[in-house]
Structure 1
């Protein structure tokens, strides 16, 4: 078992052709960090007293992390469309390739849908986001509507819960490839 836990694959170093490009790696890890911050903030909010300053701060962190995810999702997707991704590693069957493609598609949909739904929830709740330090309000796309807010928020929360599982599956697959298949799947994104 100790041999299977080695950090790197045996064999030659990973070539730059087999790796993701530096911008793709940057977008991946910064967006992953922002998603972790958004999740941590909204979970923390649930443990804080209603109306308290720490609860409001937690929600503000959640909102701005979500906005940052959306802002970075656009160049991330454009870069993916322009630069593409490295070819599948040798020995990966069609089921692994199709599963990977499906999870990546879901993750990209999530990167856009969750922040948009969260922002529309704020709009329908009558909340305006002001860019800190600039006092510029972000545009409102829907007016205040309590019923619409409730519906959009429910979808936002349901997708958020579903994506705990998709993100977990993505991370577990990377670890499975690294520690059990002993291939370069994870190393390509490091």
Structure 2
């Protein structure tokens, strides 16, 4: 595989060194910001007193940033499938290309799985998520089931903890390319 998640189905292949298209760059950074907010909100929630308005707000922020990630990752993946990504830069060895592909695949799986697991946890807990200001409830996919909620929540938390490492690896790899290899990998996403 020449580049991470190379799904290009039509059109001419992209050139090495070409930048990511503006929609890809925009969605990448908005989703990255939303994921950072979701993590910060859930960590903050753990330090706030149970039953407090601040804790409820932190949890609501975590929930809605998760929903926003799921909503935005759909057009991001569709853009990637249709338009593809720039080809690997010259000099990228097999190991670097393979690590890049694996990391990007894991990141896409994470961006879909985490919000879905979180939403199913809410459903199984009997919690209805309503659109703020509109009081429109989002659909429930599973009924209230405390045992199922505990199981899904444990998976959601485990995946979330594992992805600290994947996200960290992704960020460190971009910085490694920028500061040590001095190539355009990071600049292509700016």
TM-score after normalising by structure 1: 0.91
Which consecutive residues of structure 1, in runs of 5 or more, have no partner in the other structure?
1-14
The residue that corresponds to 1:119 in the other structure is 119
How far off its partner does 1:133 sit?
1.2
Q: Is 1:91 the equivalent of 2:91?
A: yes
Cα distance in 1 between the residues matched to 2:57 and 2:127: 15
How far off its partner does 1:16 sit?
10
Cα distance in 1 between the residues matched to 2:170 and 2:138: 33
Cα distance in 2 between the residues matched to 1:171 and 1:30: 15
The residue that corresponds to 1:150 in the other structure is 150
Q: Is 1:54 the equivalent of 2:54?
A: yes
Q: What is the Cα-based RMSD across aligned positions, in Å? A: 1.1
The residue that corresponds to 2:184 in the other structure is 184
Deviation by residue 1:58-110 (Cα, 9 ceiling, x = unmatched): 00000000000000010000000011000000000011000000000000000
Structure 1 runs of 4+ aligned residues shifted over 6 Å read: none
SS at match of 2:50: coil
Aligned ranges for residues 36-47 of structure 1 at < 5 Å? 36-47=36-47
The residue that corresponds to 1:8 in the other structure is none
Cα distance in 2 between the residues matched to 1:132 and 1:63: 12
The residue that corresponds to 2:141 in the other structure is 141
How far off its partner does 1:157 sit?
0.1
How far off its partner does 1:49 sit?
0.5
How far off its partner does 1:135 sit?
1.1
How far off its partner does 1:134 sit?
1.1
Which consecutive residues of structure 2, in runs of 5 or more, have no partner in the other structure?
1-14
The residue that corresponds to 1:32 in the other structure is 32
The residue that corresponds to 1:162 in the other structure is 162
Cα distance in 2 between the residues matched to 1:134 and 1:79: 30
User: In 1, are the aligned partners of 2:16 and 2:88 still within 8 Å (CA)?
Assistant: no
Cα distance in 1 between the residues matched to 2:61 and 2:171: 24
The residue that corresponds to 1:7 in the other structure is none
